[in-house]
């Protein structure tokens, strides 16, 4: 990732095709040493390609990756009664919400209020 970041920084600086020395210079300016093999590997993969096109292709690939939305959550019930346990779960949640609201309305500040 350090090498990729250095290539992107070079591109932002106006160098659309940085060489290994440019990348080493960028990384060296912040005290980072990097393996020459990794630099050559990345530069070999980017050779002859436009960086903007590579980024656009990567975005398309990420668009097809599931992001975790719509994950089913299992409701823990105590043995048998599948439908009954599923029906009781919303009621239990409603009771919990009511208890939370009651606590918020209670007089926890012992009669003193900052906004009186």
pLDDT score recorded for residue 28? 93
Q: Please state the rounded mean pLDDT for residues 41-48.
A: 92
Specify if 77 maps to a domain. no
pLDDT tens-digit series, residues 22-44: 999 999 999 999 889 999 999 99
Specify if 112 maps to a domain. no
Expressed as residue numbers, the domain containing 50 is 2-63
Specify if 96 maps to a domain. no
Specify if 107 maps to a domain. no
Cβ–Cβ < 8 Å for 78, 92:
no
Determine the Cα–Cα distance for residues 94 and 96; give it in Å rounded to an integer. Answer: 5
% of the chain residues with pLDDT over 70:
59
pLDDT score recorded for residue 67? 77
Specify if 92 maps to a domain. no
Neighbouring residues of 32: CB distance < 8 A, sequence distance ≥ 6:
2
What's the predicted TM-score (pTM) here?
Answer: 0.53
Using the predicted structure, report yes or no on whether residue 113 has a pLDDT greater than 60.
yes
Determine the Cα–Cα distance for residues 105 and 97; give it in Å rounded to an integer. Answer: 13
Specify if 105 maps to a domain. no
Specify if 55 maps to a domain. yes
State residue 65 phi and psi, 5-degree precision: -85, 130
Helices (H), ranges, 13-78: 20-28, 36-46, 51-63
Q: How many separate domains does the chain show?
A: 1
At 50, which CATH number?
1.10.10.1410
């Amino acid at each position: 990732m350090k090498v990729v970041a250095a290539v992107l920084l070079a591109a932002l600086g106006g160098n659309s095709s940085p060489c290994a020395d440019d990348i080493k210079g960028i990384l060296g300016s912040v005290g980072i040493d990097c393996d020459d093999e990794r630099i050559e590997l990345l530069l070999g993969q980017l050779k002859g390609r436009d960086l903007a096109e590579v980024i656009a292709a990567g975005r398309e690939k990420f668009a097809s990756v599931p992001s975790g939305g719509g994950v089913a959550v299992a409701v823990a019930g105590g043995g048998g009664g599948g439908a009954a346990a599923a029906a009781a779960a919303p009621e239990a949640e409603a009771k919990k919400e009511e208890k939370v609201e009651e606590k918020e309305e209670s007089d926890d500040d012992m009669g003193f209020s900052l906004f009186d």
